[in-house]
């Protein structure tokens, strides 16, 4: 089995792995949920969002993420039987770039950057990613967004784009470790494409899949960590 130090490049999911998108979603949907007579649990809010987001990504795969989220907001409002205007919907879509990073992300990325080439494979638009990049604080070697690709993970097209991209960069597939939280968006399709993977299991203390759809059968993982800090510490110690 390969160790962490046997790879030369890491490809990252961003939202859910490096950026706390669940906090961003829950806070961004408060103008809706605060109007309800009964309180929704955070997981119920996230699961509602996941249903509408996944459907919108499949139906309009070339649409920019911030624009797509405006429609997701409206679909959520309709499900909750609440009236909204389009300006409120677009405010939610525009909030993506301000969603918070996980507390360990920037420091762990700075460490990993000293040892790997670092690549983004994200279901986001370029403007929104620019907001995330400021919080994460490193210079990325490659940035592949859904806006660039014209589709959203878990679509095969996104992984074709990643593999073609690393080939142009002179990185062999066996030297790449795909690093992500989402089983649905990343690990199931990543393993189907023969990628080794590191599961950053941010939801390890929770049940369910939160803001992602249930993938069905879980993918095998090459490594599993509960945070990116754990991954950086494992690399530094040389134990994995």
Q: Is 44 left (phi over 0), alpha (psi -120 to 50) or beta?
A: alpha
Residue 240 to residue 237: CA distance in whole angstroms: 8
Task: Kindly list the distances between the CA atom of residue 31 and the CA atoms of 76, 103, 106, 156, in Å, as whole numbers in the listed order.
Answer: 11, 26, 30, 35
Q: Which class is domain 4-20+99-237?
A: alpha beta
Say whether 20 is catalytic.
no
Sequential pLDDT tens for the chain (240 residues): 689 999 999 999 999 999 999 999 999 999 999 999 999 999 999 999 999 999 999 999 999 999 999 999 999 999 999 999 999 999 999 999 999 999 999 999 999 999 999 999 999 999 999 999 999 999 999 999 999 999 999 999 999 999 999 999 999 999 999 999 999 999 999 999 999 999 999 999 999 999 999 999 999 999 999 999 999 999 999 877
Q: Which of 13, 125, 186, 196 is catalytic?
A: 13
Residue 3 to residue 62: CA distance in whole angstroms: 37
215 in Cβ contact with 188 (< 8 Å): yes
Helix (H, G, I), strand (E, B) or coil at 222: coil
- Any residues with CB less than 8 A from the CB of 81 and at least 6 apart, and which? none
Same fold, 4-20+99-237 and 22-97: no
- Map out the domains of the chain as residue ranges: 4-20+99-237, 22-97
Looking at the domain that runs over 22-97, which CATH code has it been given? 1.10.150.750
């Amino acid at each position: 089995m390969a160790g962490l130090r046997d790879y030369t490049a890491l490809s990252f999911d961003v939202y859910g792995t490096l950026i706390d998108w669940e906090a961003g979603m829950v806070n961004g949907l408060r103008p809706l949920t605060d109007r309800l007579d009964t309180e929704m649990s955070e997981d119920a809010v996230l699961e509602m969002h996941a249903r509408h987001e996944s459907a919108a990504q499949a139906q309009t795969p070339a649409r920019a993420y911030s624009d797509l989220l405006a429609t997701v907001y409206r679909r959520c409002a309709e499900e909750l039987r609440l009236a909204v205007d389009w300006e409120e919907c677009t405010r939610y879509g525009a909030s993506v770039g301000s969603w918070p990073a996980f507390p360990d992300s920037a420091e762990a990325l700075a460490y990993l950057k000293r040892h790997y080439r670092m690549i983004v494979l994200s279901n986001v638009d370029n403007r929104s990613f620019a907001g995330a990049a400021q919080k994460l604080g490193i210079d990325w070697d490659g940035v592949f967004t859904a806006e660039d690709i014209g589709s959203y993970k878990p679509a095969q097209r996104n992984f074709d784009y990643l593999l073609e991209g690393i080939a142009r960069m002179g990185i062999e597939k066996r030297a790449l470790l795909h690093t992500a939280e989402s089983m649905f968006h990343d690990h199931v399709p990543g393993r189907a494409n023969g990628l080794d993977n590191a599961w950053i299991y941010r939801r390890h203390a929770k049940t369910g899949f939160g803001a992602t759809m249930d993938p069905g059968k879980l993918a095998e993982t090459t490594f599993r960590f509960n945070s990116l800090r754990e991954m950086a510490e494992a690399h530094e110690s040389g134990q994995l």
